[in-house]
Structure formats: C-alpha cells, structure tokens
Structure 1
Amino acid sequence: MSAAEIISNIFLPLSLAIIMLGMGMTLIPADFTRLVKYPKAILIGLTNQLILLPAVGFTLAIAFNLSPIMAVGLIILATCPGGPTSNLITQICKGNIALSATLTAITSFVSIITIPFILAFALDYFGTATGVTIKLPILDTILQIMVITVIPISIGMLIRKYKIKFALRMKKPMRIASTAIFILVFIAVIVANFEILSTAMREVGLVTLLLNLITMGLGYVTARLFKLQLKNVISITVESGIQNGTLAFVIATSILHNVEMGIPTGAYAIWMFITGGILMWQLGKKPEIDSK
C-alpha cells in the first residue's frame, strides 16, 4: 500500500472519525430538532450543493475551454458535495455543526442518485463518452457516512448527555486537536501526492480556485440573502465550497478508470485546505457565536 493510499484509506478516515466524536460532545438533540422545525437553512444548503455547484462547474469548464478530460474531471468534483472535512472546518469556524452534519448526510445519500445522471450528461456533452455505466458503490458510501460521521457523532452526543462536565471540559482541547489534525492532513496530502498536485496546479489551478471561491461566495450570499443566523451562514458557506475529494477521486480512477480525470480534484484539494484554513484562522479566534 502506497503512502497516498495509507493516508486516504486509514489515517484520514480515522482522524475525521475522532474529530466527529469531539463534535458530537458539543451537540444535543435539540440542535437537530430545531433544524427540522425551521428547515430554511437546510433547503438553502441543499440548493447550493446539489444545483448551483454543478452549474458553476459546467460554466467554468466551458468558459475556460477545458479539454474534455479536464472538463469531466471538474464536473466529477462539482457533483461530490460535502464530506467530513467540511464538518471539521465548520466546527473550528464556530458554525452550526448540526446543520453541517445534516447537510453532509443528506447530500451524500442524494448524490448517489444525482452523480450518475450529471456525469452521464457531462461525458456526452464534452465528447468523452466511454460507454461505461456509472454505478456508485452505494453500500460503501453508506458505510463511510455511518462509520466516519453518524456513529462518532452519536457516541459524542451520548457522552455529552451522561458526562456533561467532561464533554464541556473537552470542548477547547478537541478544537485545538482538530486544528492540528487539519494541518497534519494538509501536509500529508501534499507530500504523498506531490507529483500529481504539481501537474494539477499547472493545468487547472486557476479554474479550481475559482470553483472554490465562487461556490463559497454563493453559499455566503444566498445564506445572507435569506437572513439566516450567522452560525448557519458559516455552515452553508463552508459546505458550499468544501467538496468530497475522496469520492471524486474514486469515481475518476475506479469507476471511469481515468487517472487524469482526478487531476482537478488534486488541484482543488490545495485550494480547499488553504481557503478552509484561512476561514478557520479568522473565525476560530472570534468569541463563540450565539446560536439563538
């Protein structure tokens, strides 16, 4: 197993699961029931991730006249919204963690249906149809969501319920640990994938940066336009601009059998960590935001 595979298959999922456990210790059931009673934030977040994000991806691919391979690679990335990394960044930015986790769970399940349709259209539109049937690993995707996100958060919430003093005491240390893990993962990803990342930045560096900035900007603007609370604005901004790069790379390499299509994901990973890191640095040092 290569260093890149060890990082993506073992280190990253384990680290994110630990972080999700810490997040769970900051949550109570009311955080989720509040979202159900007032679903506007969820609907805005889903619209951004499932509709606006792929639309921006298509627009940029056409505007930059990308080669068919790079264009499809960009669309693959744009169809894979959310992921545990967005939950981590939301936590450190002091956004609404319950909203972030809910959006990640919903979009992960819905994208099992939307990704094949969007990619089939992209393959046909950009002239790279391969005749393959796009079938996502549904069981693996569900297990990934459960093991990395749902189960650790649930355990954390149980700890919060029965050991509230311990949970509150661990809030700051877990946030510091989450920041440290984020930095270590960023460094590890660069070191393990240096060759493909250098190629990616040369070929699609600018277009992937724009995808990241535009989708984050749309998330912020739409959330503000509908007058959401600041914690929800932060969550939607992050969820709109932080994509599930792991799933995108799996689709490109294992389903479409084209490593080159994974190049935009490599470039996007750099920008994602940089912009996410800037948000964490700016918002993480601010006082806790009132969630009411």
Structure 2
Amino acid sequence: MLNFLRFSQFIQKTFAFWVVLFAALAMWVPEAFVWLKVYITWMLGIIMFGMGMTMKVSDFKGVLKSPKAVLIGVIAQFLVMPGLAYALCKLLQLPAEIAIGVILVGCCPGGTASNVITYMAKGNVALSVACTSVSTLIAPLLTPAIFYLLASQWIEIDALSMLSSILQVVLFPIILGLIVRALFKNKVESYITLMPFISVVAIVLIVAAIIGGSKAQILESGLLILAVVILHNGLGYLIGFWAARWFQLPYADSKAVAIEVGMQNSGLGVALAAVHFAASPITAVPSAIFSLWHNISGPALATYWASRKDPDLRNKD
C-alpha cells in the first residue's frame, strides 16, 4: 500500500505531464480514446463522488470562520470568469461553437485541483477548500443561469436540462460521497487515499476522449482556442488576486482566491458540452484545453508564489 501511495503522489505531482502526453496520444491515434466519450459523465460522477468522500463538516466551518473571504472568492468565481469569457468572445469575435464552449467553462465552479495548487503556493488552503465546496454546491443553480444569460444569443439554451445534468453528475455524487463517509467513517479512510489517483486518471481520460473526438476541429482552430484559454485563465488569476487585495484580504487569502477564480472545474464543462452540444464536438474543446492548460499554469504560478516572502509578514517585521 505504501508503494502505491508513493506512486499515486508521483502521478499527482506530474499531473500536467500526463495530461499533455495523453492529449498528444489522442491527436496521434484518436480512435484509441474517442470511444471513452460515452463514459465522460460517469467519470466526472466518480470524481465528484470522491470529492464528497474527502469532504468533512470542518470544511464548511471555514465559511463561518472567514465568511468575508469565502464570499469574495465565490462571488469572484461566478462574476469574473463568466464575464471574462463573454468579453473575450465578443472582443475576438469567436465562432459560435467556440464561444459557447468558452462561456460554458467560464460558468463552471472552481476545480478541486485549486486546493492542491493553493497548498503549493503557500496560500490559505482552508479558504480554498471552503470556496470550492460552496461554489460546487451552488453550481447547479448558478452555472445554467449565468450560461443562459450570456450564451443564449448564440444558441438556444435549455437551462433546466443543464440544471438536471449538473445535479446528476455533481451534486448527487457529492452528497452520496458525504453519506458514505458519514456512515462508514473509518472503513472508507483507506479508500479515500485512492481517490486523488482515480481523479487524475479520470481527468486525463476525459481530456484524451474529447481531443481524440475533435482532432479535425483542433487542427483547424486549436491555436485560437489555446490563446483564448491562456488569456481567460491568466486574467482570472490576476483579477481574482487584485479583487481580494482590494477588499483587504491577507496575502495568503488573496493567493487562494486568485487560484480559485483562475482554475475551473473544466471536467464539468466537458461533460455538459458532451451531453448538450453533442452535434458540435468543438464546443467541448475549450474545456478540454482549459484542463490541459491550468494544470500547467497553476503549478507554475504556485512555484513563483511559494518562492516569494509574504509582504504582510514583511510589513510586520
């Protein structure tokens, strides 16, 4: 078991490498991965179930300890990223199918990877966990509502159907995971250690499935989508950080908010695109590329922040 845990930690630390590797393999031999598309919602459900199993009541106590910081983080999450997505789509005059995909990933809640990246960046991990938990739990309402508001000019949106999808692949698995942990407690502890590894494998396969199924569209528009994703992600970090500083949050909290805002649950974006926009495969590509990119930019940003001294502590010296 110890050897497996070491292997699992190695896979998690090299997450970005595996995403890039399997994305490249999917471009080379798409038929090896495209069949996985029908299992995307199931894989995301497993990830969310694992998230539920790792959640504790103490995670939500963080909301009570620092309600201002959590409120700022969650509001920024659902204002900054959707707003940036819409602005980029308008500014760059993106084709409708790509614009819908960019706005969809922008409307998703924060990703669970943000908690790990916040830890690497020496940010406030408890705040990151609280923001992720709250944004994920309210996503079934806010994600379809904001997406409908911003994307309905490009395509007819069935917000209720999207709400149903998010309930099925996000909220229900999380609640089930919470129930399983509450009922079995010590018995599930050993299984919880497996969940990060399973999540990494599932996300890598989800990205590979979408890339493999959209090879032709990526060859045509991949560089444009990558440029938009890099701008979206980078501006999310930047605006999230300075919004937190503007509200006078501590440096460690501001790092957590910035990472929470910049990193999206792109797996959810892929799953929603696969279910609701199956006729246009390229709609899922922004989410897939976002998953690829933020697992490169996140560790890079964390490494930079971890090497810098906290200016709040410097001012006290």
Residue 101 of structure 1: how far off its partner (Å): 0.7
Counterpart of 1:4 in structure 2 is 37
In 2, the alpha carbon distance for the partners of 1:186 and 1:65 equals 30
Matched, 1:106 2:138: yes
What TM-score, normalized by structure 1, do the two folds share? 0.71
Partners of 1:261 and 1:181 lie apart in 2 by 26
TM-fit CA distance, 1:208: 0.9
**8 Å Cα contact 2:42-2:169 kept in structure 1:** no
Letter in 2 for 1:49: Q
Name the residue aligned to 2:107: 79
User: What is the DSSP-based 3-state SS (H/G/I as helix, E as strand, rest coil) of the residue aligned with 1:193?
Assistant: helix
Q: 2:72 aligns with which of 34, 37, 44?
A: 44
The equivalent of 2:92 in structure 1 is: 64
In structure 2, how many angstroms separate the alpha carbons of the residues matched to 1:102 and 1:154? Answer: 17
Identify if the C-alpha distance between structure 1 residues 232 and 151 changes in structure 2 by more than 3 Å, giving closer, same or farther. farther
Give 1:189's aligned residue. Answer: 206
Q: 1:261 aligns with which of 283, 291, 306?
A: 283
Given residue 290 of structure 2, which amino acid in structure 1 is its aligned partner?
A: Y
TM-aligned CA distance change 1:226 to 1:178, over 3 Å: farther
Q: Secondary structure at the match of 1:81?
A: coil
Q: Is residue 2:173 matched to residue 1:141?
A: no
CA-atom RMSD, angstroms? 3.7
Q: 1:215, CA displacement in angstroms? A: 0.9
**What SS class does the counterpart of residue 192 from structure 1 fall into?**
helix
What number of residue pairs does the alignment pair up? 262
Runs of 5+ consecutive residues of structure 1 not aligned to the other structure: 124-128, 286-292
Q: Structure 2 length normalisation: TM-score?
A: 0.66
Please state whether the residue corresponding to 1:2 is helix, strand or coil: helix
Q: Report the Cα distance in structure 1 between the residues aligned to 2:259 and 2:165, rounded to whole angstroms.
A: 25
Separation in 1, partners of 2:158, 2:46: 31
Instruction: Decide which moves more: 44-53 or 137-146.
Output: 137-146
Contact persistence 1:93–1:284 (CA under 8 A)? no
For residues 104 and 186 of structure 1, the distance between their equivalents in structure 2, rounded to whole angstroms, comes to: 17
Q: Would the alpha carbon gap of residues 159 and 98 (structure 1) be closer, same or farther in structure 2, given more than 3 Å must change? A: farther
CA shift digits 1:89-121 (9 cap, x unpaired): 41564312233211221233322332222221x
Q: Give CA-to-partner distance per residue, 1:141-198, whole Å, 9 cap, x none.
A: 22433333233245546777xx5xx96xx79x83xx5554454345423443333264
In structure 2, stretches of 5+ residues that fail to align are: 1-33, 120-124, 308-317
CA distance 1:13–1:110, shift in 2 (3 Å): same
CA contact (8 A) 1:81 1:244 kept: yes
Work out whether 1:222 is the aligned partner of 2:262. no
Q: Which moved more, 1:265-274 or 1:223-232?
A: 223-232
Tell me, in whole angstroms, the C-alpha distance in 2 between the residues paired with 1:283 and 1:153.
33
Q: Distance in 1 between matches of 2:52 and 2:251?
A: 22
2:46 aligns to what? 14
Q: Distance in 1 between matches of 2:256 and 2:299?
A: 15
1:283 Cα offset (Å): 8.3
Shift in Å at residue 71 of structure 1?
Answer: 2.3
Match of 2:18 in 1: none
Structure 2 counterpart of 1:115: 147
Q: Mean Cα displacement is larger for which, 69-78 or 151-160?
A: 151-160
Contact kept? 2:118, 2:259, Cα under 8 Å: no
Q: How does 1:212-291 map to 2 (within 5 A)?
A: 212-229=233-250, 232-256=253-277, 257-278=279-300
